[in-house]
Amino acid sequence: MEHVFGWIGQIFQTLLRFFPWLVIVPATSAGVAFVHGHRIKMWGPGLHWYWPLVTTYKTIMTVRQTQRIQSKVIMTKDLKTVTVGALVTYYIDDVVSALAKIADLPSDIIERSQGAILALVSERTLEEIQRDRVAFNQALTARMGEALNGYGVQVIQAQLSEFAPCRAISINGNAAIGSYSLWTGF
Protein backbone atom coordinates (compact mmCIF):
# COMPACT_ATOMS: atom_id res chain seq x y z
CA MET A 1 0.00 0.00 0.00
CA GLU A 2 2.89 2.40 0.80
CA HIS A 3 4.29 1.77 -2.67
CA VAL A 4 1.04 2.94 -4.25
CA PHE A 5 0.99 6.17 -2.21
CA GLY A 6 4.63 6.83 -3.14
CA TRP A 7 3.78 6.37 -6.79
CA ILE A 8 0.80 8.74 -6.51
CA GLY A 9 3.04 11.31 -4.76
CA GLN A 10 5.57 11.15 -7.59
CA ILE A 11 2.84 11.73 -10.18
CA PHE A 12 1.55 14.70 -8.18
CA GLN A 13 5.07 16.20 -7.90
CA THR A 14 5.58 15.81 -11.65
CA LEU A 15 2.27 17.55 -12.41
CA LEU A 16 3.18 20.46 -10.12
CA ARG A 17 6.25 21.17 -12.27
CA PHE A 18 3.92 22.37 -15.05
CA PHE A 19 2.74 25.35 -12.96
CA PRO A 20 4.76 28.49 -12.06
CA TRP A 21 6.06 28.74 -8.49
CA LEU A 22 6.76 31.76 -6.34
CA VAL A 23 10.17 32.20 -4.65
CA ILE A 24 10.80 34.83 -2.01
CA VAL A 25 14.39 36.09 -1.93
CA PRO A 26 15.03 37.87 1.41
CA ALA A 27 16.58 41.34 1.63
CA THR A 28 19.88 39.82 2.81
CA SER A 29 20.21 37.55 -0.23
CA ALA A 30 20.20 37.41 -4.01
CA GLY A 31 20.10 34.59 -6.51
CA VAL A 32 20.36 33.39 -10.05
CA ALA A 33 17.90 31.45 -12.17
CA PHE A 34 19.09 29.07 -14.87
CA VAL A 35 16.41 29.30 -17.55
CA HIS A 36 16.41 26.35 -19.97
CA GLY A 37 19.67 25.32 -18.32
CA HIS A 38 21.85 27.88 -20.09
CA ARG A 39 20.45 31.40 -19.73
CA ILE A 40 21.41 33.03 -16.42
CA LYS A 41 19.04 35.57 -14.91
CA MET A 42 19.98 37.47 -11.73
CA TRP A 43 17.39 37.69 -8.95
CA GLY A 44 17.56 40.54 -6.45
CA PRO A 45 15.63 40.57 -3.17
CA GLY A 46 11.87 40.26 -3.63
CA LEU A 47 9.31 37.98 -5.24
CA HIS A 48 10.21 35.92 -8.29
CA TRP A 49 8.09 33.55 -10.36
CA TYR A 50 9.73 30.61 -12.07
CA TRP A 51 8.60 27.58 -14.00
CA PRO A 52 10.13 24.43 -12.42
CA LEU A 53 9.80 22.46 -15.65
CA VAL A 54 12.53 24.51 -17.38
CA THR A 55 14.17 26.58 -14.62
CA THR A 56 16.38 25.90 -11.61
CA TYR A 57 17.67 28.49 -9.16
CA LYS A 58 20.24 29.14 -6.40
CA THR A 59 20.29 31.81 -3.73
CA ILE A 60 23.13 33.11 -1.55
CA MET A 61 23.52 35.55 1.33
CA THR A 62 25.04 38.80 0.06
CA VAL A 63 25.54 40.58 3.37
CA ARG A 64 28.73 40.70 5.45
CA GLN A 65 30.12 37.23 6.20
CA THR A 66 33.23 35.86 7.90
CA GLN A 67 35.26 32.85 6.80
CA ARG A 68 37.83 31.23 9.10
CA ILE A 69 41.03 30.26 7.31
CA GLN A 70 42.53 27.18 8.90
CA SER A 71 46.02 27.62 10.29
CA LYS A 72 48.95 26.34 8.27
CA VAL A 73 52.66 26.05 8.92
CA ILE A 74 54.58 28.54 6.74
CA MET A 75 58.21 29.65 6.54
CA THR A 76 59.00 33.36 6.72
CA LYS A 77 61.63 35.22 4.69
CA ASP A 78 64.20 34.75 7.47
CA LEU A 79 63.54 30.96 7.41
CA LYS A 80 61.53 30.84 10.66
CA THR A 81 58.65 28.39 10.81
CA VAL A 82 55.33 29.89 11.96
CA THR A 83 51.76 28.73 12.20
CA VAL A 84 49.34 31.19 10.62
CA GLY A 85 45.54 31.31 10.66
CA ALA A 86 43.25 34.15 9.59
CA LEU A 87 39.73 35.51 9.40
CA VAL A 88 38.36 37.01 6.17
CA THR A 89 35.35 39.30 6.26
CA TYR A 90 33.61 39.82 2.93
CA TYR A 91 30.34 40.41 1.14
CA ILE A 92 29.01 39.21 -2.21
CA ASP A 93 29.01 41.99 -4.81
CA ASP A 94 28.49 39.92 -7.98
CA VAL A 95 25.93 37.15 -7.50
CA VAL A 96 26.32 35.75 -11.01
CA SER A 97 30.07 35.22 -10.56
CA ALA A 98 29.62 33.80 -7.06
CA LEU A 99 26.92 31.28 -8.02
CA ALA A 100 27.20 30.57 -11.74
CA LYS A 101 30.96 30.54 -12.28
CA ILE A 102 32.15 28.88 -9.06
CA ALA A 103 31.01 25.49 -7.77
CA ASP A 104 31.80 25.98 -4.06
CA LEU A 105 32.44 29.60 -3.03
CA PRO A 106 33.45 29.05 0.64
CA SER A 107 35.99 26.40 -0.39
CA ASP A 108 37.43 28.69 -3.08
CA ILE A 109 37.65 31.58 -0.61
CA ILE A 110 39.66 29.38 1.76
CA GLU A 111 41.96 28.13 -1.01
CA ARG A 112 42.67 31.56 -2.53
CA SER A 113 43.11 33.15 0.92
CA GLN A 114 45.62 30.51 1.99
CA GLY A 115 47.62 31.26 -1.14
CA ALA A 116 47.60 34.99 -0.34
CA ILE A 117 48.70 34.31 3.25
CA LEU A 118 51.52 32.04 2.08
CA ALA A 119 52.76 34.63 -0.42
CA LEU A 120 52.66 37.55 2.03
CA VAL A 121 54.22 35.73 5.00
CA SER A 122 57.03 34.32 2.87
CA GLU A 123 57.93 37.86 1.70
CA ARG A 124 58.48 39.18 5.24
CA THR A 125 60.59 38.32 8.26
CA LEU A 126 59.11 37.27 11.58
CA GLU A 127 60.19 40.57 13.13
CA GLU A 128 58.56 42.65 10.35
CA ILE A 129 55.25 40.85 10.84
CA GLN A 130 55.37 41.17 14.64
CA ARG A 131 56.49 44.82 14.60
CA ASP A 132 53.41 46.19 12.83
CA ARG A 133 50.44 43.83 12.78
CA VAL A 134 48.04 46.56 11.63
CA ALA A 135 50.08 47.24 8.50
CA PHE A 136 50.44 43.50 7.89
CA ASN A 137 46.65 43.01 8.17
CA GLN A 138 46.09 45.88 5.72
CA ALA A 139 48.54 44.31 3.26
CA LEU A 140 46.83 40.95 3.79
CA THR A 141 43.42 42.51 3.07
CA ALA A 142 44.73 43.99 -0.20
CA ARG A 143 46.42 40.70 -1.21
CA MET A 144 43.27 38.67 -0.52
CA GLY A 145 41.18 41.21 -2.42
CA GLU A 146 43.45 40.70 -5.44
CA ALA A 147 43.34 36.90 -5.04
CA LEU A 148 39.53 36.87 -4.90
CA ASN A 149 39.03 39.33 -7.78
CA GLY A 150 36.55 37.83 -10.23
CA TYR A 151 34.93 35.55 -7.66
CA GLY A 152 32.03 37.91 -6.92
CA VAL A 153 33.46 38.70 -3.50
CA GLN A 154 34.54 42.05 -2.03
CA VAL A 155 36.97 41.64 0.89
CA ILE A 156 36.24 44.06 3.75
CA GLN A 157 38.98 42.94 6.10
CA ALA A 158 41.51 40.16 6.58
CA GLN A 159 43.32 39.66 9.84
CA LEU A 160 45.58 37.13 11.46
CA SER A 161 43.75 35.10 14.09
CA GLU A 162 46.68 32.83 14.88
CA PHE A 163 50.34 33.65 14.51
CA ALA A 164 53.13 31.97 16.45
CA PRO A 165 56.60 30.53 15.88
CA CYS A 166 56.55 26.73 15.81
CA ARG A 167 58.54 23.65 14.94
CA ALA A 168 57.28 21.40 12.19
CA ILE A 169 57.78 17.66 12.47
CA SER A 170 57.00 15.48 9.49
CA ILE A 171 56.41 11.76 9.95
CA ASN A 172 56.73 9.52 6.95
CA GLY A 173 53.87 7.02 6.66
CA ASN A 174 56.20 4.11 5.93
CA ALA A 175 59.08 4.00 8.38
CA ALA A 176 61.23 1.23 9.81
CA ILE A 177 62.48 1.10 13.39
CA GLY A 178 65.14 -1.52 13.93
CA SER A 179 63.84 -4.74 12.47
CA TYR A 180 60.19 -3.67 12.81
CA SER A 181 58.16 -1.85 10.22
CA LEU A 182 55.59 0.82 11.01
CA TRP A 183 52.50 1.09 8.91
CA THR A 184 50.28 4.12 9.37
CA GLY A 185 47.74 3.44 6.66
CA PHE A 186 44.74 4.11 8.85
What does the domain layout of the chain look like in residue ranges?
Answer: 2-61, 65-165
pLDDT over 70 for what percent of the chain? 89
User: CB–CB of 74/122 below 8 Å?
Assistant: yes
Q: Exposed, middle or buried by CB within 10 Å (0-12, 13-18, 19+), for 139?
A: middle
pLDDT (mean) for 154-176 = 81
Q: Looking at residue 171, what is its pLDDT?
A: 63
Q: Closest Cα to residue 101, out of 149, 150, 155?
A: 150
CATH of 65-165, one of 3.30.360.10, 3.30.70.890, 3.30.479.30, 3.40.50.280: 3.30.479.30
Alpha-carbon gap, residue 154 to 98, rounded angstroms:
11
CB-side exposure of 121: number of CA atoms within 13 Å? 28
Q: How far from the centroid of its chain's Cα atoms is residue 91's Cα? A: 12
pLDDT tens digits along 108-156: 999 999 999 999 999 999 999 999 999 999 999 999 999 999 999 999 9
> pLDDT tens across 69-102, in order?
999 999 999 999 999 999 999 999 999 999 999 9
Please choose, from the candidates 90, 72, 74, the residue with its C-alpha nearest in 3D space to the C-alpha of residue 158.
90
Average pLDDT over residues 54-79: 95
Nearest to 121 by CA among 158, 67, 66: 158
